[in-house]
Structure 1
Amino acid sequence: MINPERFHKIRRLLEQRQPDLTVVMDNVNKPHNLAAIIRTCDSVGIETIHAVSNRPSIRKKQKTAGGSTRWVQLSLHESMENLANTLKSNGTRLLAAHYSSTSVDFRSIDYTRPTAIVMGAEKLGPSSDTISLVDQAIHIPMQGMAESLNVSVAAAVILFEAQRQRLAAGCYEKIALEKETLEKRLFELAYPSIAEKLAMQAKPYPPLDEEGRLLD
């Protein structure tokens, strides 16, 4: 039986999730960076993030990092093109964190719109193929000798700007997750062991009362 206070905290977390804001990690492979980005995504209310790599070794690291937290769902992909097409078909705009002659200051973007922020591999940034698929490149202005920030730090800077804008717009005050999705995730987060067993048996989750008690 889950503590009612914790149950209400989890429900409140899900009620503030922003399903139309996400991050795409393009071949990001260092475990500490992956884990840091995932923690930041949880902090700003992101429900699902994406990781792309055509190399099994990188996908294994990405999957391991995703398993380090149950609060954010990680979806793995082998093709950036397929993922980009899927996101765009849902009305999501793709922004690549990448400095170029056509990139714009990250603070000039309206992050209250459905947005996917693409973060590239350490040192190299997003691949040229990825850059060709996004709608806009953005950059963080730098006044020092360093040309760029660590990928996890850059992701945090951009994501907390997105959070700032969404807080000001009242995005966190309305429930954005679909009711069925919210209830499913609520059960999984409140009763992870039971949820895992039921999923393996292809059985539905039992309903919960307002205090998180199992009704069946």
Structure 2
Amino acid sequence: MPKEITPRRRERIRSILRRRQKDLTLVMDNIWDPHNVSAVLRSCDAFGLLGVHLYYTTAQWPDLGKKSSASALKWVDRTRHEDGPAMIRGLREQGYQIVRTGFSETAREPSEYDLTRPTAIILSNEHRGTAPELVELVPDEIYIPMQGMIQSFNVSVAAALMLYEAYTQREAQGMYDVPSLTEAELAEYEERWATR
């Protein structure tokens, strides 16, 4: 028998859904460590992303049913992909600007991108970088400047830093104050979340 939802919990769900950003997303490109995936999902929930894309062609599908992701799994939609070109085409058809993490001379800092636009950020594999088929399709790179000897942040830390920049830009434009979900979508998600 479903648990009865209190008015207070229902109002919290409504409040959070009204701030969800359905046009900001991440693509996890063969991220092999389930702990990293879990940490990324927590950041996605914290910064109000509605959903993410999981692109897995070479790495094993992560076991996401454990510990740190357990709560975030309930609140962040996940779409699985195995066809990179189809995924990129689909995102572009929806009007997304797409950038990928990288360190080339043309890579730009998060603050140099307009992250108030519909945006998908590809997080590259921890060891191999971005999948070659995605590199061909997505020339624009994003990176976080570092001042130490280590070349890159852990992928989950990088995700949180980029999402914070997106949050800062969007909050300054009042985007979290105006629902990106339609009334019908809000009602649908509210009912779905009420049973979790």
Map 1:159-170 → 2, pairs under 5 A: 159-170=163-174
Residue in structure 2 matched with residue 191 of structure 1 by the alignment: 195
Q: Which segments of 5 or more consecutive residues in structure 2 lack a partner in the other structure?
A: none
Deviation at 1:113, TM superposition (A): 0.3
- Structure 2 CA distance for aligned equivalents of residues 188 and 87 of structure 1: 25
Q: Which segments of 5 or more consecutive residues in structure 1 lack a partner in the other structure?
A: 193-216
**TM-score using structure 2 length:** 0.91
The total of aligned residue pairs comes to 190
Residue 97 of structure 2 corresponds to residue 93 of structure 1: yes
Q: Which runs of 4+ in 1 moved over 6 A?
A: none
Residue 19 of structure 2 corresponds to residue 31 of structure 1: no
Residue 13 of structure 2 corresponds to residue 13 of structure 1: no
Closer/same/farther in 2, CA of residues 62 and 166 from structure 1, 3 Å limit: farther
Among all aligned residue pairs of Structure 1 and Structure 2, give the percentage whose two residues are the same amino acid.
36
**Aligned AA (2:159):** A
Higher normalized contact order (CA 8 Å, seq sep 6+, divided by chain length) = 2
**TM-score using structure 1 length:** 0.83
- Structure 2 CA distance for aligned equivalents of residues 22 and 4 of structure 1: 30
**Aligned AA (1:170):** G
Deviation at 1:80, TM superposition (A): 1.5
Residue in structure 2 matched with residue 134 of structure 1 by the alignment: 138
Post-superposition Cα deviations, 1:102-155, rounded to whole Å, max 9, x if no partner, equal: 111222111000000100111222122212212510111111100111100011
Structure number with bigger Rg: 1
Closer/same/farther in 2, CA of residues 53 and 184 from structure 1, 3 Å limit: same
Post-superposition Cα deviations, 1:3-40, rounded to whole Å, max 9, x if no partner, equal: 11111001111000100000000001201100000000
| Segment drifting more, 157-166 vs 119-128 | 119-128
